[in-house]
Amino acid sequence: MDFFAQQARVRRSSRTLVLLFALAVLAIVVAVDLVCAFVLGVGLRAAPLLAIALAVVIVIALCSAYRIASLAGGGAAVARSMNASEVPADTANPQWKRLRNVIEEVAIASGVPVPEIYVMQDEPGINAFAAGYTPTDAAVCVTQGCLDKLNRDELQGVIAHEFSHVLNGDMRLNIRLIGLLFGIMAIGVIGRFLLYSGSGRSSRRDGGNVALAGLALFIVGSIGLFFGKLIQAAVARSRESLADASAVQFTRQTSGIAGALKKIAAFAEGSALQASGRDEVRHMLFGDAERGSLFATHPPILERIRALEPGFDPSELDAIVKQWLASGGRPESIELHAEPHDWEKAVHDFAVADGDVGEPLPGFPPSSQAAQAAPAASGAVPPRAAALAITAAGVAAQVASPGTDDYRAAAQLRARVPDALAAAARDPRGALAVIFALAVSEHPDLQTQQLETVAQAFDASMADAVRNLLADVAALHPMLRLPLAQLAFPALKRRPRPELDRFTAALDKLIHADGRVDLDEYCLAKLVQVQVIAALDPSAHFKPGNLRLTEAQASLRDLCALMAHFGNDDADTARRAFQAAMQEALPGAGVMYAIPEDWQGALDAALAELARLSPEGKQLTVRALTRAIAADGVVNVAESELLRVVCAVLGCPLPPILGDHP
């Protein structure tokens, strides 16, 4: 799937949503005016009707603004509004651990921070949703039915489906839709309140008038409910089929997501939700919130299955239920598809080990088997000294579009993270130490100075924690540095804001300790700012991209010049790389190669401006950056990671393996 085309599609959907919302408000205003004119005796006088119309618009606008503001915390706020429970990083629950393992792998393969993870424990149906403004504040929430009824392949298919919404911008549209629907339906809520209030008044006349007004508004509110569900269905249906296809593209097998859909069709609970807030989120769910709805937000379940498996026979559904009952409710016992390829089985085996949490889940091997299986999946992660063959078009096509090799690499990378680093990254205080360790120099004298800086900013125990991680960090494969940082970001976001401000100040001192700043050091600090600090207030920091690349030419020049400078060995090669990069993005621009004197300040301004580019502008920027770093014909792993970090800062996440691969 083309990430940039998807972003453009979401923008068109946003415009459609605004139009539908305006039509719904207009219909409600007309209905309220008619009620006031003929039921309440206002008549057809223009002045009072205009005043009433204005009041209705203000009420709807205020209610929408209130609901959107209540979700300013991003995806976690939506999940909590559904009474979902957060999955802790150190959970001992084997179902929750399996869920976390799957989500971490998909996040690493997608090149985004691990989202917050939630479970709706009282929901037996099979359903899930992703919510947030951007991937940095996303939350993925699944029902208990997903954990009870789906095997690992099926769970991964559902998670891959939800990640497609995380990556292509659907989540922002979903949150806006929640707010707009709340405003549209507010008139009905007010009417219901007046109806009950009027019936309880002592004065029959006053109570009758209030109740009559309430009844009229309640009826008008039904118009709002009609339009609200119509908008939900119109916005959601096409996106769900696209997300199914994206999940198949990611996992390169249809059996996982198709198996989940078959179980929804087979079991009585289906994908239904019982939570009172289901109407607000029904447009963002994996499956319909209720069976047989006139305003279904998803294509019919059998239609979705046949789109994935054209030869599907509905008689399979009875067999699924029979196998389920015969097995005592073990999801791994239901055979819905053929055995996976050898490499898939090997990656599956060593990636899902449950560690030290007791007995593994049915069908999951213990850690010893995982370690033995790991070598069988070798080859996905290139050696440190490998030279990568990448092209501008190939890298641009990989943005937010992970493939088979990326899944294999993600499973390997996750398995290669030392236990001490993984445990620290998931711990709120340990996550601070992990990022500090990534910034500490390998030079002994400078290292001592940097550890003293950490002790001064925090305490001696924090400096000791960083020191204890340094050996593991130094031994990391270069491709593990970014995933490790993004694994730590969710825990960082839980720290108090004053502590995070102290943390970022200390990180800046570490980076400047030797009197010079390398681009990879700068990018680490920038990534913390973009994916952690900004995520604390996502609604305030999110800015939709609408800037044209020609309007940001100076910013593109500075970024390409620095990428060419840091990505090539000599000045002549860097100059040619810069010229190739600018020609890729802005043919005929005639911009001269020059390194800004204050390159960090220039890069701060450049990245801030380029992050606001339109999807088309970002696509050209990624192509230009790739040309800048690959012009000498040699791209090593460290340079590819630099490109991934810069693109992550720009909101264009890249998977672990860069290059043209299936």
Q: How many residues does the chain have?
A: 662
**Mean of the pLDDT values across residues 545-569?**
89
Domain assignment of residue 470, yes or no: yes
409 and 420 housed in the same domain: yes
Pick the catalytic residue from 123, 162, 290, 584: 162
Whether the per-residue pLDDT at 190 is higher than 50: the answer is yes
Domain boundary among 477, 508, 530: 530
Cα(536)–Cα(386) distance, integer angstroms: 38
Question: What pLDDT band is residue 343 in, cutting at 50, 70 and 90?
Answer: very low
Rg of the chain's alpha carbons, rounded to an integer? 27
Residue 232 confidence (pLDDT) above 80: no
Domain boundary among 530, 556, 580: 530
Asked if pLDDT for residue 475 goes beyond 80, the answer is: yes
Please give the pLDDT value at position 266. Answer: 92
Predicted pLDDT at 622: 93
Predicted local confidence at residue 293, as pLDDT? 61
| Whole-angstrom distance, CA of residue 81 vs CA of residue 466 | 37
Whether residue 177 lies inside any domain: the answer is: no
Domain containing 519 equals 405-530
614 lies in some domain: yes
Evaluate whether residue 576 is within a structural domain: yes
CA 563 to chain centre: 27
Confidence of residue 499 (pLDDT cuts 50, 70, 90): very high
Specify whether 411 is located in the same domain as 513: yes
- Amino acid present at 287: G
Domain identity same for 393 and 410: no
Report the side by side order of strands in the sheet with 139-143: 85-86, 116-120, 139-143, 128-131
pLDDT at 551: 93
Q: Do 473 and 513 have their domain in common?
A: yes
Query: Angle between the 186-199 and 170-184 helix axes, to the nearest 10 degrees?
Result: 30
Average pLDDT of the chain is: 80
What is d(CA 32, CA 59) in angstroms, rounded to the nearest whole number?
A: 12
Residue 61 lies in a domain: no
Average pLDDT over residues 84-111: 91
* Tally of structural domains, the chain: 3
Are 633 and 389 spatial neighbours (Cβ–Cβ below 8 Å)? no
pLDDT-based confidence at 375, cuts 50/70/90?
Answer: very low
Q: Which of 530, 554, 578 is the last residue of a domain?
A: 530
Please check whether residues 593 and 638 belong to one and the same domain: yes
Domain membership flag for residue 566 = yes
pLDDT at res. 380: 65
Mean local confidence (pLDDT), 125-150: 91
Which tens digits make up the pLDDT trace of 560-615? 999 998 888 888 999 999 999 999 999 988 889 999 888 888 888 999 899 889 88
- Residue 335 annotated in active site: no
pLDDT of residue 479: 84
Neighbours of 513 (CB within 10 A): 20
Mean pLDDT of 218-230: 75
Same domain for 354 and 423: no
Strands 139-143 vs 128-131: parallel, antiparallel or unpaired: antiparallel
Average pLDDT over residues 92-117: 91
Higher pLDDT, 48 or 537: 48
Q: Is the pLDDT of residue 403 over 80?
A: no
Report whether pLDDT(360) > 50. Answer: no
| pLDDT-above-70 percentage for the chain | 81
pLDDT value at 356 more than 50: no
Residue 393 has pLDDT above 80, yes or no: yes
Taking residues 650-654, report their average pLDDT.
87
Of all residues in the chain, the percent with pLDDT exceeding 90 is 25
Mean pLDDT, residues 353-380 taken together: 37
For residue 36, how many C-alpha atoms fall within 13 Å in the half-sphere facing its CB?
19
pLDDT, mean of residues 302-314: 87
Residues 509 and 583 placed together within one structural domain of the fold:
no
Please tell me the least confidently modeled range out of 45-49, 152-156, 552-556: 45-49
| Position 460 confidence tier, pLDDT thresholds 50, 70, 90 | very high
Query: Residues 398, 414: one domain?
Result: no
Q: What is the mean pLDDT of residues 415-421?
A: 90
Statement: residue 616 has pLDDT above 80: yes
Range with lowest mean pLDDT among 402-406, 443-447, 562-566: 402-406
Whether 410 and 524 map to the same domain: the answer is: yes
For residue 481, which amino acid is it? R
State how far the Cα of 522 lies from the Cα of 526, in Å rounded to an integer. Answer: 6
Cα dihedral 320, 324, 330, 334 sign: negative
User: Whole-angstrom Cα distance, residue 223 to residue 152?
Assistant: 43
State phi, psi for 135 to the nearest 5 degrees: -60, -20
DSSP one-letter string for 118-148: EEETT--S--EEEE-SSGGG-EEEEEHHHHH
Q: Lowest-confidence range among 38-47, 140-149, 374-383, 466-475?
A: 374-383
Say if residue 362's pLDDT is above 70.
no
Residue 206: what pLDDT? Answer: 54
Residue type, 353: A
When pLDDT is averaged across residues 446-461 and rounded to a whole number, the result is: 94
Name the nearest CA neighbour of 129 among 101, 74, 93, 166: 166
The reply to whether 371 falls in a domain is: yes
Cβ atoms of 654 and 647 within 8 Å: the answer is: yes
Give the pLDDT score at 502: 92
- 10-26 tens-digit pLDDT: 666 667 767 777 888 88
The per-residue pLDDT for 385 is 76
Q: Do residues 510 and 414 both lie within one domain?
A: yes
Mean pLDDT to the nearest integer, 414-420: 88
Segment 181-199 shows an average pLDDT of: 73
Question: Lowest mean pLDDT: which of 41-50, 440-449, 597-606, 636-645?
Answer: 41-50
Q: Is residue 311 part of a domain?
A: no
**How confident is residue 199, by pLDDT bands cut at 50, 70 and 90?**
low
Confirm if 132 and 74 have CB atoms less than 8 A apart: yes
497-511 vs 444-457: helix axis angle to the nearest 10?
A: 160
The answer on 372 and 392 residing in a single domain is: no
The Cα 238–Cα 6 span in angstroms is 12
Question: Are 347 and 358 members of one domain?
Answer: yes
Mean pLDDT for 78-95 is 91
Q: Is the pLDDT of residue 135 over 60?
A: yes
For the ranges 107-121, 288-302, 392-406, the one whose mean pLDDT is highest: 107-121
